[in-house]
Structure 1
Amino acid sequence: MAGNGPPPKARKVRRNADPIAQTVFRWERAEAPELPEFWIERDEQLVEFVWPERTREWWQMWIDSPQAEHFGSADWQYLLDTALIHARLWRGDLSAAGELRLRVAAFGAAPADRARLRMVFAEADGADGGKRPLGRAVRS
């Protein structure tokens, strides 16, 4: 008697478990700090550091970003250091661009960064009216 073709292939199961166990921490959301006032040495004089307006706007953008609700205190401190790099760039130090790009990518700054980090916006889930799951092609 003829059959219906070969049996389906078994799904491959990952057999190599991670050698290091995952560490799980209790989550504590942190509020964004203000850009600090501080002094820098210039021409052997201490002068107040003035944040470029563009860096102030950039900082506010991160505070208002959807990602911010998932930032802890260490994240904000890392972004604060990154703000200094941003300020260098906007003062004309183009050598800061590469480091800035790497740092903001870790927070999902650009669409490609968010895709790599597997970030999606909640509003996108219902944009098609629930007609099809995300990631599947529609056949006609």
Structure 2
Amino acid sequence: MGGNGPAPKSNDRRARRNKDAIPQTVLRWERAEAPELPDFRVERDGQLVEFVWPERTHEWWQMWIASPQADHFGSSDWQFLLDTALIHARLWRGDLSAAGELRLRVAAFGATPADRARLRMVFAEADGLDGGRGSSGAPSAREQYGQLRMMPGGKRAEPGKGE
């Protein structure tokens, strides 16, 4: 027996088809090793001088190399992050105008919990640590109440206990 109401629209008349408007491009994945912060020269007062990375930028770079996200970085990711390191160095040298651009760039790599949530990143180790009981670690509802059964008349009875 059919349901109530009008017949559904045919697929070619539906406004929403849940298909991607632009097809996805699948790329071959190649993990890349992190480069070291390079030595180079910059022009200062008409002279070429050796660029000195702030110590804080060295620490920041090592943090990215050790991050879980780094396992998923390709060569273009590391190049973008290397350019971002220059912005980080500017900020730590006192150029506060670099802060906004730095924030935008590191957000693309999942720097903060909010960034990782937006990028749908999760830490795999956390999935198995709770034994499948959910985030609180408390027993599941099935573990707590799985033995309860309904009695005729709608009253609950615990196994092994009379009324």
Q: 1:56 aligns with which of 55, 58, 77?
A: 58
Q: 1:106 aligns with which of 105, 108, 111?
A: 108
Q: Equivalents in 1 of 2:128, 2:55: separation in Å? A: 37
Q: Equivalents in 2 of 1:30, 1:68: separation in Å? A: 9
Residue 39 (structure 1) aligns with: 41
Residue 88 (structure 1) aligns with: 90
**Secondary structure of the residue that 2:48 maps to in structure 1?**
strand
Read off the aligned partner of 2:39 and give its amino acid letter. Answer: E
**Secondary structure of the residue that 2:129 maps to in structure 1?**
coil
Please state how far the C-alpha of 1:131 moved relative to its aligned partner: 1.9
Matched-pair identity in %: 82
For the aligned residue pairs, the C-alpha RMSD in angstroms reads 2.0
Please state how far the C-alpha of 1:15 moved relative to its aligned partner: 1.3
**Secondary structure of the residue that 1:33 maps to in structure 2?**
coil
Alignment gaps of 5+ in structure 2: 5-15, 145-163
- In the superposition, relative to structure 1, how do residues 75 and 132 fare at CA in structure 2: closer, same or farther (>3 Å)? same
Q: Equivalents in 2 of 1:36, 1:125: separation in Å? A: 38
Q: TM-score, normalised by structure 2?
A: 0.72
Q: Equivalents in 2 of 1:95, 1:132: separation in Å? A: 43
The number of aligned residues is 125
Read off the aligned partner of 2:53 and give its amino acid letter. Answer: W
Read off the aligned partner of 1:89 and give its amino acid letter. Answer: L
When Rg is computed on C-alpha atoms for both structures, the one with the higher figure is: 2
Read off the aligned partner of 2:112 and give its amino acid letter. Answer: A
Residue 22 (structure 1) aligns with: 24
Q: TM-score, normalised by structure 1?
A: 0.84
**Secondary structure of the residue that 1:129 maps to in structure 2?**
coil
Q: Equivalents in 2 of 1:38, 1:46: separation in Å? A: 9
Alignment gaps of 5+ in structure 1: 1-5, 7-13
Q: Equivalents in 1 of 2:20, 2:29: separation in Å? A: 23
Aligned residue runs from structure 1 range 73-84, under 5 A: 73-84=75-86
Please state how far the C-alpha of 1:128 moved relative to its aligned partner: 1.6
Q: Equivalents in 1 of 2:118, 2:132: separation in Å? A: 24
Residue 129 (structure 2) aligns with: 127
